[in-house]
Amino acid sequence: MKNLLRVPTVLLLASMGLTGCIGLQPAPMYRLDSGTTEVPERTDGAAVLLAPVTLADYLQRDALLQRLADGSLAVDGQRAHWAGSLKADVEQVLLRQLAWRLDTQSLVLGPADEGFTPEVQIELSITRLDSGPEFPAVLEAHWRLRDKAGKHLGSRLVRLQEEHQGSASDQVRAQSVLLQRLSEMVADAVEPTLVAKTAPKVAPAKPQVSKSAEAPAPRIPAAEPIRTDMEVFRF
C-alpha cells in the first residue's frame, strides 16, 4: 500500500515542477526593424525637424496587441511585449529612414535645441498600428509639413496595409515594413521643398535686341582715284 501511495505523490510533484518551469519561461520581446539604411555622409545637409510624433492612446503600452475577428484588441496569448517604449522605437525607425532618404545628418527629433532653425518641420500622428493572427498589419497616419516660419506647406492622410504569416514575429516585421513605407512617402513629400530652397539662382537672361534697333555700323568711304603721275587710291 505504501508503494501505491508513493506513485501519485511523485507524479504530482513532477507535474508541479513542470508547471513551475513553464511559468518561468520568459515572455517574448520584440523591436521594430529600421530596414536597410545608411548613415548619411553629408554634414551640410538640409535642417529638418521631426516633431511632434504622436501615437494613439491604445499604443501607449508595452504589450503586443492583437486584432481579433470582431475588431477588438487583446493582449498576445504568449504575453509578448515590446522591448522598451513603442513610441521611442517608432521615432528611431522614422529618424533613421528619413535621414537616409533625405541624405542629411541635420535631422533632429524634437524638441530641438535652441538655435536650431529647420528648413522643414514634419508633424506626424499615427492613429493606428496593429495586426492580428488572421488580419494584415495596418498603419493609419497623418502628417503636416511647415517651413521655418511655421507656414503650412502641405498635409496628407494615409492608410497602409501589409500581409504577414500570422506569427507574432512576422507581424512585427510587417509593422516595421509599414513604417519604412511611411518614411518613404514623407521623404518624397519633403524633398521637393528642400530642392526648391537650395536650387541655385539663375541670372536673368539679357533682353534680346533686334537687329533693326542696333546702331548702324560706321561706313567706310569709297576709294577715289587721284590723277597724278601715278595712280594713287586715297581712303
For 33-87, the pLDDT digits (tens) are 999 889 998 888 999 999 999 999 999 999 999 999 999 999 988 889 999 999 9
Decide if 217 is inside a domain: no
- Residues facing 130 on adjacent strands: 138
Decide if 17 is inside a domain: no
Structure-block grid coordinates of residue 55: 501615437
**Worst-scoring range by mean pLDDT, 106-110, 156-160, 199-203?**
199-203
3 state SS of 175 = helix
Report how far residue 218's alpha carbon sits from residue 234's, in angstroms, rounded to the nearest whole number. Answer: 18
Decide if 31 is inside a domain: no
What is the pLDDT of the chain when averaged over all its residues? 83
Q: Which one is predicted more confidently, 205 or 158?
A: 158
Q: How confident is the model at residue 13 (pLDDT cuts 50, 70, 90)?
A: very low
Decide if 34 is inside a domain: no
**Worst-scoring range by mean pLDDT, 9-23, 116-130, 176-190?**
9-23
Which whole number is the average pLDDT over 192-214? 65
Number of domains in the chain: 1
**Cβ contact 164:189 at 8 Å:** no
CATH number for the domain spanning 70: value is 3.40.50.10610
Decide if 209 is inside a domain: no
Decide if 226 is inside a domain: no
How many CA atoms are closer than 13 Å to the CA of 102, on its beta-carbon side?
34
Decide if 181 is inside a domain: yes
Residue 186 belongs to what domain range?
46-197
Residue 75 CB partners (closer than 8 Å, separation 6+): 63, 64, 65, 66
Q: How confident is the model at residue 92 (pLDDT cuts 50, 70, 90)?
A: very high
Q: How many CB atoms lie within 10 A of CB 140?
A: 18
Please give the distance of CA 159 from its chain centroid, rounded to a whole number: 15
Please report the pLDDT score of residue 43 as a whole number.
81
3 state SS of 28 = coil
Decide if 9 is inside a domain: no
Q: Which one is predicted more confidently, 188 or 197?
A: 188
On the question of pLDDT at 143 being above 70, the answer is yes
R_g of the chain computed on alpha carbons: 36
Structure-block grid coordinates of residue 52: 511632434
pTM: 0.75
Please give the distance of CA 82 from its chain centroid, rounded to a whole number: 21
CA distance to 21, 44, 186, 196, 200, per residue, from 10 (Å) = 17, 72, 63, 79, 85
pLDDT tens-digit map of 194-204: 887 665 555 56
